Amino acid sequence: MATVTFFHAHPDDEAIITGGTMASLAADGHRVVLVTATRGDLGEVPDGLLAPGESLAERREVELAAANDVLGVERQDFLDYLDSGMAGEETNGREGSFAGADLDEAAERLARVLREESSDVLVVYDDHGGYGHPDHIQVHRVGMRAADVAGTPVVYLATIDRDHVRELIRQSEGTDWSMQDPTPEDLDSFGEPAERITTAVDVSGFLGAKREAMRAHASQIGEESFFLAMPDEAFAAVWGTEWYIRTRPEYEVPPGSRETALVLDPAGLL
């Protein structure tokens, strides 16, 4: 059995982007470790959500613990940076924000976990963080540096197949679950084109866990949100596959072929 470490920017990212993969790995007996860069203290706060004296960061920490139970995460650590906010906001540069963190210092915090766990695989984001969020971009930069420092042998970039999303948008036109976010105009910078995807993990058998983990993040993912409001068939179409690019060891996709699971060592598939 192997140890796979997932590195995410904020609580809820793990459920949305890689939740099915995490649950499937745990179900197969592998050790799933989650490192979260921030507590997401700049997320939106619905009216009346927080108890008197409770901060959003405290609430999101509790929500993350609940999601981890659903997904089978055996260890979760924070790097203890502050949420940087969306691209272009003044908070990107506030003291202690993850986006402005010293690269070597942040990488060493992550590398410590990788070494302690003797992690076989590290999962980070693609080089533009999927959609350009400063903290997501920093996850890529810090994660790649930490893999070098810790000597982690296998690294994957979690991403989205933008061509698949385009097709889903086309298919959803005129239906009750028409996809409006991301809009077609966003897609040129959203995820990666299909030709770059090396690995497509079918997580259709774990959609219940993925949805329950999303629901655990109630402060950010409400029942009427895009994530939870769609009918089961639509949810399966949108979330039934999770997409990755294997970047270490570098993998050239054979024509018409993709990996269907994360590689745990250069010699073979999981």
Q: Output the domain CATH number for residue 176.
A: 3.40.50.10320
Concatenate the DSSP letters of all residues of 59-109 into one string: HHHHHHHHHHHHHT-SEEEEEEEBP--STT-GGGGSTTBSTTS-HHHHHHH
Q: What is the pLDDT of residues 209-225, one digit of tens each?
A: 999 999 999 999 999 88
**What pLDDT is recorded for position 169?**
83
Once rounded to an integer, what is the mean pLDDT over residues 145-168?
95
**How many domains does the chain fold into?**
1
Q: Are 23 and 242 in contact (CB under 8 A)?
A: no
What average pLDDT does the segment 115-119 reach? 98
DSSP state of 254: P
For residue 33, pLDDT beyond 60: yes
**Spatial distance between the Cα atoms of 114 and 170, rounded to a whole number of angstroms:** 41
Residue 190 scores a pLDDT above 50: yes
Average pLDDT over residues 88-104: 92
Query: Shortest CA distance to 263 belongs to which of 216, 215, 201?
Result: 201
123 contacts 4 by C-beta, under 8 angstroms: yes
Band (pLDDT 50/70/90 cuts) for residue 22 is very high
**Per-residue pLDDT at 157 exceeds 80:** yes
Q: How confident is residue 270, by pLDDT bands cut at 50, 70 and 90?
A: very low
Under the banding of pLDDT at 50, 70 and 90, the label for residue 253 is: low
pLDDT, position 107 = 98
* pLDDT tops 70 at residue 265: no
pLDDT of residue 181: 55
Better-predicted residue by pLDDT, 250 or 224: 224
pLDDT of residue 40: 96
| pLDDT above 70 (res 152) | yes
Mean pLDDT of 42-57: 91
> Would residue 159 be called left, alpha or beta, if left means φ above 0 and alpha means ψ between -120 and 50 degrees?
beta
pLDDT at 7 over 50: yes
Q: Give dist(CA 71, CA 212) in Å, integer.
A: 9
Domain of residue 263 covers: 3-269
Per-residue model confidence (pLDDT) at position 180: 58
269 has pLDDT over 50: no
7: helix, strand or coil: strand
pLDDT at 90 exceeding the cut of 90: no
Q: Judge contact between 72 and 22, C-beta under 8 A.
A: yes
Mean pLDDT of 65-89: 95
Beta-bridge partner residues of 75: 33
Q: What is the pLDDT of residue 227?
A: 86
pLDDT, tens digit, 9 for 90 and up, residues 133-148: 999 999 999 999 999 9
